[in-house]
């Protein structure tokens, strides 16, 4: 039996759908698979670099993995005592470099030319900062009634697509309680919807600082980075939120979008499937991610099936129009 969604689940789905629609509408009609750019045979390149902590100290026990943007591992190596590594005989093109040490992980996208490329990748191995000091957690404070009521009104206006009404009420909530994580997150999303993605970063970061356990702030910042095409930063934010107890499907959904943007299509599919499994419900936006990913893998039939499923669920709106354009391009 399919479980009934709670009110908080429904709010998260609406939040996620709004973020996803902004991102997916910005994608090109023709998604294409790309592990390596098409190049004539020629001189091969190499990569050398260092793995360091946030304070610049070498990480001597790190493992470095180089992948194509399609997720295929090209090379895996352990760094030396100085934190250095060297990978030779590489075909020029775009790659993802992943460094890990214990539970800590960092990744970045880089381009390899026919020369020696140098890269320093940073892993923050410091323990998580404890709650306290200047960090105020809403879990340990009572949000004033005035702020809570204003936020609930703003949330209702937002779900009714009344942007102006939501703006007015969320500002009232923050005037009453400036460190209100939920209100900061909602204002960040409103900024995304009104073409202010860079300004939205401050609100999402502020929400995370106000309440480090508020998972929607992590999802919101990742969604904002996805919208701006900053896919590696989106994945890093999601890594930070991985220790949160609930609800992990949001992290997998945003990860699927980031990986789609990076043209890592098979990994995007895996993350979308994981999100659906954890949610226990077929979220329409997941079918769009899966459709684009299948098309990127040149599986046009599966891509068309996923996009048609989305249109059976959501038949109107800018994203539905975009999906129809994609389907028309496949014929």
DSSP letters of 277-310? HHHTS--HHHHHHHHHHHHHTT-HHHHHHHHHHH
Asked if 13 and 86 sit in the same domain, the reply is no
What integer is the mean pLDDT of 11-32? 58
Task: Report the pLDDT value the prediction gives residue 239, as an integer from 0 to 100.
Answer: 83
Q: Is the pTM of this model over 0.85?
A: no
What integer is the mean pLDDT of 95-117? 75
Asked if 72 and 117 sit in the same domain, the reply is yes
Q: What CATH number is given to the structural domain containing 326? A: 1.25.40
What integer is the mean pLDDT of 223-245? 84
- Asked whether residue 1 is assigned to any structural domain, the reply reads yes
Asked if 74 and 13 sit in the same domain, the reply is no
With 0-12 / 13-18 / 19 or more C-beta atoms within 10 angstroms meaning exposed / middle / buried, residue 138 is middle
Which of residues 122, 140, 160 is at a domain's end?
122
Asked if 317 and 280 sit in the same domain, the reply is yes
Asked if 49 and 26 sit in the same domain, the reply is no
Asked if 57 and 96 sit in the same domain, the reply is yes
- Asked whether residue 313 is assigned to any structural domain, the reply reads yes
- Asked whether residue 142 is assigned to any structural domain, the reply reads no
Task: Give the 3-state secondary structure of residue 31.
Answer: coil
What residues pair up with 53 in beta bridges, in sequence order? Answer: none
Q: How far is CA 36 from the centre of its chain?
A: 23
Which of residues 122, 138, 170 is at a domain's end?
122
- Asked whether residue 306 is assigned to any structural domain, the reply reads yes
What residues pair up with 46 in beta bridges, in sequence order? Answer: 116
Task: Report the pLDDT value the prediction gives residue 136, as an integer from 0 to 100.
Answer: 39
Asked if 64 and 8 sit in the same domain, the reply is no
CA angle at residue 238 from 5 to 259, to 5 degrees?
A: 95
pLDDT in tens, 46-62: 888 889 887 888 988 88
Task: Give the 3-state secondary structure of residue 157.
Answer: helix
Which of residues 122, 153, 183 is at a domain's end?
122
Of 192-201, 237-246, 266-275, the poorest mean pLDDT is in: 237-246
Rounded Cα gap, residues 163 and 3, in angstroms:
31
Task: Report the pLDDT value the prediction gives residue 217, as an integer from 0 to 100.
Answer: 87
- Is the model more confident about 277 or about 40? 277
**Count of domains in the chain?**
2
Asked if 6 and 51 sit in the same domain, the reply is no
Compute CA distances 24 → 57, 137, 156, 219, 227, whole Å: 39, 33, 24, 16, 9
Residue 294 structure tokens: 């299948």
pLDDT above 90: residue 38: no
- Asked whether residue 87 is assigned to any structural domain, the reply reads yes
Task: Give the CA-trace dihedral at 150, 132, 59, 89, to 10 degrees.
Answer: 0
Q: What CATH number is given to the structural domain containing 73? A: 2.60.40.10
Contact residues for 330 (Cβ-Cβ < 8 A; gap 6+): 295, 300, 303, 304
* Sequential DSSP letters for 170-226: HHHHHHH-TT-HHHHHHHHHHHHHTT-HHHHHHHHHHHHHH-TT-HHHHHHHHHHHH
Rounded Cα gap, residues 184 and 329, in angstroms:
40
**What range does the domain containing 262 cover?**
1-30+247-331
Task: Name which of 206, 278, 286, 218 is nearest 23 in CA terms.
Answer: 286
Asked if 71 and 112 sit in the same domain, the reply is yes
Asked if 319 and 273 sit in the same domain, the reply is yes
Whether 311 and 320 have beta carbons less than 8 Å apart is answered as yes
Range picked from 7-21, 22-36, 83-97 for highest mean pLDDT: 83-97
pLDDT above 80: residue 115: no
pLDDT above 60: residue 81: yes
- Asked whether residue 268 is assigned to any structural domain, the reply reads yes
Rounded Cα gap, residues 17 and 11, in angstroms:
10
Asked if 2 and 61 sit in the same domain, the reply is no
Beta-sheet pairing, 45-52 with 116-122: parallel
Asked if 254 and 317 sit in the same domain, the reply is yes
- Is the model more confident about 256 or about 54? 256
- Asked whether residue 228 is assigned to any structural domain, the reply reads no
Rounded Cα gap, residues 93 and 112, in angstroms:
5
- Asked whether residue 18 is assigned to any structural domain, the reply reads yes
């Amino acid at each position: 039996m399919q479980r009934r969604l709670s009110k908080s689940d429904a709010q998260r789905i609406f939040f996620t759908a709004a973020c996803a629609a902004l991102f997916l509408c910005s994608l090109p009609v023709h998604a294409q698979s790309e592990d390596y750019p098409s190049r004539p045979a020629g001189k091969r390149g190499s990569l050398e670099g260092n793995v360091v902590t946030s304070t610049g100290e070498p990480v001597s026990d790190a493992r470095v993995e180089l992948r194509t943007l399609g997720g295929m591992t090209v090379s895996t190596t352990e760094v030396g005592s100085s934190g250095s590594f060297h990978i030779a005989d590489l075909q020029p093109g775009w790659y993802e470099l992943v460094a890990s040490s214990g539970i800590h992980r960092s990744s970045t996208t880089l381009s390899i030319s026919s020369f020696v490329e140098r890269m320093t990748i940073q892993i923050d191995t410091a323990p998580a900062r404890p709650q306290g000091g200047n960090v105020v957690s809403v879990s340990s404070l009572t949000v004033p009634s005035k702020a809570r009521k204003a936020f609930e009104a703003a949330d209702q206006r937002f779900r009714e697509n009344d942007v102006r009404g939501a703006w007015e009420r969320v500002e009232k909530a923050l005037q009453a309680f400036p460190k209100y994580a939920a209100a900061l997150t909602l204002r960040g999303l409103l900024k995304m919807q009104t073409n202010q993605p860079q300004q939205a970063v401050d609100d999402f970061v502020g929400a995370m600082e106000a309440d480090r356990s508020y998972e929607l702030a992590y999802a919101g910042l990742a969604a904002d980075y996805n919208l701006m095409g900053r896919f590696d930063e989106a994945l890093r934010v999601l890594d930070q939120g991985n220790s949160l107890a609930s609800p992990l499907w949001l992290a997998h959904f945003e990860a699927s979008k980031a990986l789609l943007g990076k043209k890592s299509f098979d990994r995007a599919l895996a993350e979308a499937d994981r999100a659906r499994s954890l949610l226990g419900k077929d979220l329409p936006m997941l079918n769009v991610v899966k459709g684009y990913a299948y098309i990127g893998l040149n599986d046009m039939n599966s891509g068309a099936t996923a996009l048609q499923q989305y249109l059976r669920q959501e038949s109107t709106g800018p994203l539905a129009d975009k999906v129809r354009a994609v389907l028309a391009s496949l014929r």
